[in-house]
A and B are shown apart, each in its own frame.
Chain A
Amino acid sequence: MTPAAILRAGFRDQNPGLVQLLGLCPLLAVSTSLGSGLGLGLATMAVLIASNGLVSLVGRSLPAEIRIAVFVLLIAALVTAVELALSAWLPGLHAALGIFLPLIVTNCLVLARAEAFASRQPVGNALLDGFAMGGGFLVVLVALGSVREVLGRGSLGGDLHVLLGSGESTSGLHLFGEQHGFLLALLPPGAFILLGLGLAWRQARQATAPAAASGAVVTSGMPGEAAA
Chain B
Amino acid sequence: MAANPERPARRSIRAAIVLATAAIAAFGLVAVVHEVTRDRIAASERARELARFDQVLGELRYDNDLLADTLSLRDPELLGTTAAIIAYRARFHGRPVAVLLEPVAPDGYAGAIRLLLAVAPDGTVIGVGTASHRETPGLGDFIDTRKSDWMQRFAGKSLGNPTAARWQVRKDGGDFDQYTGATITSRAVVGTIGRTLEFFARHRDELLGDELLGDELPAAPATIRP
Contacts and interface: CB of A to CB of B under 8 A. Distances in A.
A209 interface: no
Q: Is the interface of A mostly helix, strand, loop or mixed?
A: helix
A3 B45 CA distance: 43
A49 to B, nearest CB: 15
B15 A85 contact: no
Query: Which range holds the interface residue count of chain B?
Result: 20 to 34
Interface of A: 58, 62-66, 69-70, 73-74, 76-78, 80-81, 84-85, 87-89, 91, 95, 167, 169, 178-179, 181, 183, 186-187
Contact of B1 (A63, A85, A178, A183): A63
A154 to B, nearest CB: 12
B15 A63 contact: yes
A76 B27 CA distance: 10
B37 A77 contact: no
B19 A88 contact: no
Contact of B37 (A62, A84, A167, A179): A84
B147 A178 contact: yes
3 nearest CB pairs, A to B: A77-B26, A88-B40, A88-B37
B33 A80 contact: yes
A81 B33 contact: yes
Given A81-B33, A167-B51, 17 more contacts: A58-B22, A63-B1, A63-B11, A63-B15, A64-B1, A73-B19, A77-B26, A77-B30, A81-B30, A84-B30, A84-B34, A85-B33, A88-B40, A89-B40, A91-B44, A178-B147, A181-B138
B44 A87 contact: yes
A70 B33 contact: no
Contacts of B47: 91
Contacts of A179: 138
A197 B27 CA distance: 43
Contacts of A84: 30, 33-34, 37, 41
Given A81-B30, A87-B44, A183-B137, A66 B18 contact: yes
B170 interface: no
A87 B45 CA distance: 9
Contacts of B146: 169
Nearest to B33: A81
A91 to B, nearest CB: 4
Nearest to A181: B138
A81 B40 CA distance: 14
Nearest to A186: B137
B19 A69 contact: yes
Contacts of B27: 77
25 contacts: A58-B22, A63-B15, A66-B19, A70-B18, A70-B19, A70-B22, A73-B26, A74-B22, A74-B26, A77-B25, A77-B30, A78-B29, A81-B29, A81-B30, A84-B34, A88-B36, A88-B40, A88-B41, A88-B44, A89-B40, A91-B45, A95-B48, A167-B51, A181-B138, A183-B138
B23 interface: yes
A169 B1 CA distance: 56
A46 B40 CA distance: 21
B14 interface: yes
Contacts of B34: 84
Contacts of B48: 91, 95
A33 to B, nearest CB: 13
A77 B27 CA distance: 7
B30 A80 contact: yes
Contacts of A62: 18
Nearest to A80: B30
With a 10 A CB-CB cut-off, give which of B51, B137, B138 has the most chain A CB atoms: B138
Contacts of B30: 77, 80-81, 84
A70 B47 CA distance: 38
Contacts of A87: 37, 41, 44
With a 10 A CB-CB cut-off, give which of A58, A73, A76, A95 has the most chain B CB atoms: A73
Contacts of B19: 66, 69-70, 73
